[in-house]
Structure 1
Amino acid sequence: MPISPDFTSRLQKEWKITFLQCYPNGYLKYTDLCNILQLTAALHSEIGGISFRDMQVYHQAWVLSKMRVEIHRLPKWKDKITVKTWVNSLENSRSIRCLEIYQGDEKLVGCETFWVVMNTNTRRPESLALAHEHFEKFAERATNEPFSKIELQHDFETIATQKVQLSDLDIVNHANSVKYLEWCLNYVSVETIFQKEIQSFEMNYLKELSLNDIFDIQEKTENKKSIYKVQSNEKTNFALQIVFK
């Protein structure tokens, strides 16, 4: 679709937290937090003319490669929040997008995402075919810490074996990025989730999973940090690092 007349290089979008998005303690699920962030990013891409539909003309799609989320305070049921987003960089096949969640003047969450343009036929990265010069790039960042390298060389314990289901797939025909987080968080203690003890989490997407793929979930915990791996055929597809308060 053409660039919307309402397009601006910085977008603000208001959301109201519904009960469907909350844990039994009334606070927003970490998975739905990520969904809200990604929906806001998708909206900005849509009104800026570089959405999934626009890119599919060239058999392209944005694929999430990394995501870092720092949590100052979780919103809860019925809260009205504002998500602010802007593009930090966009060059060739790669882009860094920043997002922040506010309630009034209080910043609740900072997030940075790293995206790659993928050809949906070849499943390989390639330069963005669409014009994007109208997106002003802003040097400011949304998180206190940059993306980190998640250490995957230590011994991990396999805690579950699962199969990719139809409900896990998204419009790009692979397991949706938030599903990986959901699979791993199911093995974090309920007390940790309900007491809101997660300070930050970071995700690396390394190799896509498709329908009926079998995968293992592996875990390693040390001090105030847990690392999870999703692994298939002895290759790591996804890594999650959680830092606790």
Structure 2
Amino acid sequence: MPISPDFTSILSKDWEINFTQCAPNGYLKYTELCNLLQLTAAAHSEIGGISFSDMQEFNQAWVLSRMRVEIIDLPKWRDTVTVKTWINSLENSRSVRALEMYVNGKKIVGSETFWAVFNTEKRRPETLALPYEHFELYPDTKATVETFSKINITHEKEMLFERTVCLSDLDIVNHANNVKYFEWCLDLVDEKLILNQQIESFEMNFLKELSLKDKVSIHENINEDNTIFSITKEDKTSFALQLNWK
């Protein structure tokens, strides 16, 4: 699609929280929070002419590599949230995008995300084939207090669970969707911590893609202030998650 006449380098988009997105406590699920952030990023790329459809002409897609989310509050059922997004950096095959979520003008979530251009046939990163110079960049306007980092997974850990990637785990890029990794790990956390909104922030590192029928193991390391999960396939790490507790 061509660049929309409504294109702006900073996008704000409203979403109404519906009951299917909420946990039993009536508040937005952490996985659905990630989905809304990514849907807003996708909407911005759509009007800016670098969407999935545009990129598929060159067998390319954006894939998420790292994500940090800092949470002040979670929205609840029937809230209308405004998600604001802009790009910090965009060069060759990599981009850093900032996102913020507001309710009634109050910021409740900040996120920093790192994206890579991925060739969906060759299954490897490559330089973006589309023009992007029309995007104004905001390198100094940050959405989070801390930047994303490389999660330390070298510590002792316990193997908690094994599973096989199934069809419902796959997305349009034909690999396990990034939010699925997050969901698998959260399902192994004490539900009281989730329902009482004890997550202050979390980070995710996406290291290797997983495909249909891949067999994976989920590992956990519990510390005083955080819990670290890793997902491995044949002893190679595909994903790491760090949950930072209040």
TM-score above 0.5, yes or no: yes
| Aligned match of 1:182 | 183
In 2, the alpha carbon distance for the partners of 1:51 and 1:80 equals 25
Offset, 1:148: 2.0
Find the residue that maps to 1:46 and give its secondary structure.
helix
Per the alignment, residue 37 of structure 1 pairs with 37
The CA distance in 2 between the partners of 1:149 and 1:95, in whole Å, is: 17
Q: Equivalent residue for 2:216? A: 215
SS at structure 1 position matched to 2:125: coil
- 1:113 paired with 2:119, answer no
Shift of 1:149: 2.3
SS in structure 1 of the partner of residue 185 of structure 2? helix
* Structure 2 residues without counterparts, runs of 5 or longer: none
Deviations 1:42-64 (A, max 9, x none): 00001100000000111110010
For 2:232, the equivalent position in structure 1 comes to 231
AA partner of residue 133 (structure 1): E
Aligned match of 1:17:
17
Q: Measure the CA separation in 2 of the matches of 1:221 and 1:104.
A: 36
Question: Number of paired residues?
Answer: 245
Displacement, 1:105? Answer: 2.0
Alpha-carbon distance in structure 2 between the residues aligned to 1:72 and 1:47: 29
Once the two structures are TM-superposed, the CA of residue 155 in structure 1 deviates from its matched residue by 1.2
Distance 2:72 2:115 in 1: 24
Partner of 2:138: 138
Taking the aligned partners of 1:104 and 1:3, their CA distance within structure 2 comes to: 30
Unaligned runs of 5+ residues in structure 1 are: none
Q: Which residue of 1 aligns with 2:7?
A: 7
TM score, norm. by length of structure 2? 0.99
SS in 1 for 2:13: strand
- The equivalent residue for 2:153 is 152
Distance 1:15 1:46 in 2: 17
1:147 CA displacement: 1.2
Provide Cα deviations, 1:154-181, integer angstroms capped at 9, x if missing partner.
Answer: 1110000000010000000000010000
- In the aligned structure 2, how far is the partner of 1:50 from the partner of 1:164? 29
| Aligned-residue CA RMSD (Å) | 0.5
2:129 counterpart residue number: 129
Residue 61 of structure 2 aligns with which residue? 61
Match of residue 194 from structure 2: 193
Q: Which amino acid aligns with 1:211?
A: L
Using the alignment, how far apart are the partners of 2:78 and 2:4 within structure 1?
Answer: 30
